[in-house]
Amino acid sequence: MKFSGSRAHPGVGVCLLLFVFIAGVQSFYLPGVAPQDFNKDDALKVKVNKLTSVKTQLPYSYYSLPFCAPDKIVDSTENLGEVLRGDRIENSPYV
């Protein structure tokens, strides 16, 4: 079998270059995390999540342990990814 000096299609280099730039742009996006601006004296709502343990694989609900709990606990799932990961995001009494 003899190979002659065949040339690659000229569009291959352009496609590879575009792929490198597109992959670099999308590489740092975290789904569900969007920047939010705050002004002075704006309320910042603190939320709590599940607690994990090194002794068991099952996570604990944050308020299953003796922490200060608000009068009414409200689940605040913000996106599908949190549900699929098993996050249990709830309100807290802290502002």
pLDDT band at 39 (very low <50, low <70, confident <90, very high): very high
Q: Which domain holds residue 76?
A: 43-94
pTM recorded for the entire structure: 0.50
For residue 29, tell me if it sits in a domain. Answer: no
On average, the pLDDT of the chain sits at: 75
Q: Torsion over CA of 49, 64, 59 and 32, rounded to 10 degrees? A: -20
61 occurs within a structural domain: yes
> Does the residue 49 lie in any domain?
yes
Number of domains in the chain: 1
User: Does residue 88 sit within a domain?
Assistant: yes
Do 71 and 90 meet the contact criterion of CB atoms below 8 Å apart?
A: no
